Chains A and B, each alone.
Chain A
Amino acid sequence: MTDAKTNRPLVRLDRISKHFGEGETRVDALRNVSLDVYPGQVVALLGPSGSGKTTLLNVIGCILDPSSGSMELDGEAVIEDGQWLRPNLRRLRLDKIGFIFQFHNLIPFLDATDNVALVLQLAGAEAATARARAVELLDYLEVGHRRSAMPAKLSGGEAQRVAIARALANRPRIILADEPTAALDSKRAGIVMDLLRKVAVEQDAAIIAVTHDEKIFDRFDSIFSLRDGRLEMEERGDDQREPDVFQCSKSVS
């Protein structure tokens, strides 16, 4: 919460634009998108197909070059005037960003513990340390009893919890989720969103999720929608949740 109090966002987008093609075939996927997301916030990105939400998630996830604009992640400038400032974006992702996927994307030949431990080992942790931390995370997400199960043997909810544990393994402060509840029923979707909120609050993380799942809209602090590449803030009825902490700003030019 410290960063929120010092008004320092974990994700800061400044006039990010992205277009594909040129001339008559040019498509503007993002148009001058600016967004600040603070620690502890759980933010939703909505929008119809082709509105640019996946493009925005890819830019924040450091897997797509923007055409212009600047971006800061966890206080570090990573894009300036459309140019990456760090050469090794994979290391940047490993250190700063956790990803949660629509279909969990667990590695099918690793058990639950090793799926989580893999990320830690990629970051340089010893095998024993990585496994200990993985077990700790699985217990934290209440799926420790399935630590030896292969992904194919896990239920949808269990697999998504393991995926969340993997996303948290390196203690990233930015978590990007792509339709995290799309493959779950409403009960399990609610549990997953509660877990993400718990993570955001307890680990001072910012969570940005692309979703179409109306039944979980009330679990977000802020909801933004993208229309033709422009970011707009949706009206919400329950902004009373910890309003002093979940400050979220947006600007659209």
Chain B
Amino acid sequence: MNLAYRDIRHNLGRFLLTCIGLGLLLGVVLAMIGIYRGLVVEALTIARAPAIDLWVVEANTRGPFAEASRIPGDLREAVARIAGVSAAGSITYQTVETEHRSGKLRLYVIGYEPTRPGGPPQVIAGREIARSHYEMVADRSTGLTLGERINLGRNVFTVVGLTHHQVNSGGDPAVYITLPDAQKLQFDLAPPAARVQLARGASGSSRDIVNAVVARLQPNASPDAVAETVRRWKHLAAITQEGQELILTRSLVDRARRQIGLFTSLLLVVSAVIIALIIYTMTMEKLKQIATLKLIGAPDRTIIGMIVQQALALGLIGFAIGATLIANIKDYFPRRVVLEPDNVLILGLIVFAVCLFSSGLGVRAALRVDPATALGG
């Protein structure tokens, strides 16, 4: 006779309500883990998008994401000629806010050379940029649709392709335009300001400035060796893809990552305490029954089994509810929630351990019950 099952069946509504409450709590924990993972993934997304091996940036900087970097665009040709480099492309990054559908739309604009490295990793609808000007590939999360026209600066761009999951570390969706369009967007001044610059005699400076030159290496080339070659020029810095990702996770999103990580840990501790309290309370409510069971001769294993099985059932059902909930609503979050199977599995194991530990508290209380308390009112 399984006493745990019988007790659950007898108080099914209450037990399920408790499971749902616990499920919501564990759902929040899973969401926080997903947000934490999402933050890291989003921080790396733009850096991983060009699928390159080396970032050439301004000397003594850790650009283009962690620090500002400005280098001449024609450096791309010099980089492309270095031994071991198979392809190179110039690239710019800038954040733009524009009017769209009577609202503000914040975009992370990436300028690239369409035939060279630096473009969107995957176009899920439409096509890649084919014309030199005023076409864009936009991330799906911008809400833009194929064929839609949008103002950027003083020009109107047409959405010709859509990509997905391309956002910067701040969560702004990316759009890709050609490098000349991006440079024009960045450096073209409004007519009054241009006239002031002209009057100051500062209009002749080159606008062929980019934030980085990205390089794809030949299969047998060592990124560190090529980077060292670039550094020897002294006026440039070179960062391998691995180094760039390290900068992004250690510097750019480190505080946010730690903040969310700490909050997730606190939430996990709170969840553990709540689980422990629920299980302990469930046991304390049954002390008279436990005393009766002990008095009529039930061995400890029967009582321990009842408490542990109920605790594990509570944890299992609560966790299943929480995981199902988050799996179904995670795509509705404003920022990306990434739930990897290993994260879910680890949380599941933690919940299992917490339930086991919590049932230990209940078991301890149950084993200390004096069977004599079953006698008398």
- State whether A93 and B6 are in contact (beta carbons under 8 Å apart), knowing that A63-B372, A102-B377, A178-B376 are contacts in the complex: no
- State whether A118 and B1 are in contact (beta carbons under 8 Å apart), knowing that A94-B296, A178-B376 are contacts in the complex: yes
Which residues from chain A contact B294 at a C-beta distance below 8 Å?
A: 90
Q: Could you name 11 residue pairs across A and B whose Cβ atoms are closer than 8 Å?
A: A54-B375, A61-B295, A90-B297, A90-B298, A91-B297, A103-B377, A105-B289, A109-B10, A118-B1, A122-B299, A122-B302
Give the shortest distance, in Å, between B286 (CB) and chain A (any CB): 9
Which residues from chain B contact A110 at a C-beta distance below 8 Å?
A: 1, 3, 6
- Return the contact of A121 from the options B1, B9, B295 (Cβ within 8 A): B1
Which residues from chain B contact A179 at a C-beta distance below 8 Å?
A: 376
A57 located at the interface, meaning its Cβ lies under 8 Å from any Cβ of chain B in the complex: yes
Contact B11 A178 (CB under 8 A): no
Interface size on A, residues (CB 8 A): 32
Within 8 A of A (CB), among B350-376: 370-372, 374-376
Contact B375 A101 (CB under 8 A): yes
B18 located at the interface, meaning its Cβ lies under 8 Å from any Cβ of chain A in the complex: no
Which residues from chain A contact B289 at a C-beta distance below 8 Å?
A: 105, 107-108
Q: Closest residue to B300 on the A side, CB-wise?
A: A90
Which residues from chain B contact A108 at a C-beta distance below 8 Å?
A: 10, 289
Q: Closest residue to B10 on the A side, CB-wise?
A: A109
Which residues from chain A contact B293 at a C-beta distance below 8 Å?
A: 107
A27 located at the interface, meaning its Cβ lies under 8 Å from any Cβ of chain B in the complex: no
B292 located at the interface, meaning its Cβ lies under 8 Å from any Cβ of chain A in the complex: yes
Query: Bound state CA distance, A103 and B7, in angstroms?
Result: 20
B288 located at the interface, meaning its Cβ lies under 8 Å from any Cβ of chain A in the complex: yes
Contact B10 A150 (CB under 8 A): yes
Give the shortest distance, in Å, between A226 (CB) and chain B (any CB): 15
1/0 contact string of B273-301 vs chain A (CB within 8 Å): 00000000000000011001111111100
Contact A58 B372 (CB under 8 A): yes
A158 located at the interface, meaning its Cβ lies under 8 Å from any Cβ of chain B in the complex: no
Give the shortest distance, in Å, between B144 (CB) and chain A (any CB): 59
Contact A58 B375 (CB under 8 A): yes
Which residues from chain B contact A101 at a C-beta distance below 8 Å?
A: 292, 374-375
Give the shortest distance, in Å, between B357 (CB) and chain A (any CB): 25
Which residues from chain B contact A91 at a C-beta distance below 8 Å?
A: 297, 299
- State whether A109 and B9 are in contact (beta carbons under 8 Å apart), knowing that A118-B1, A166-B296 are contacts in the complex: yes
Contact B296 A119 (CB under 8 A): yes
Give the shortest distance, in Å, between B65 (CB) and chain A (any CB): 60
Within 8 A of A (CB), among B1-51: 1, 3, 6-7, 9-11
Which residues from chain B contact A58 at a C-beta distance below 8 Å?
A: 372, 375
Contact A105 B1 (CB under 8 A): no
1/0 contact string of A93-127 vs chain B (CB within 8 Å): 11100010111010111100010011101110001
Contact B297 A63 (CB under 8 A): no
Which residues from chain A contact B1 at a C-beta distance below 8 Å?
A: 110, 114, 117-118, 121, 127
Give the shortest distance, in Å, between B8 (CB) and chain A (any CB): 8
Query: Bound state CA distance, A134 and B11, in angstroms?
Result: 24
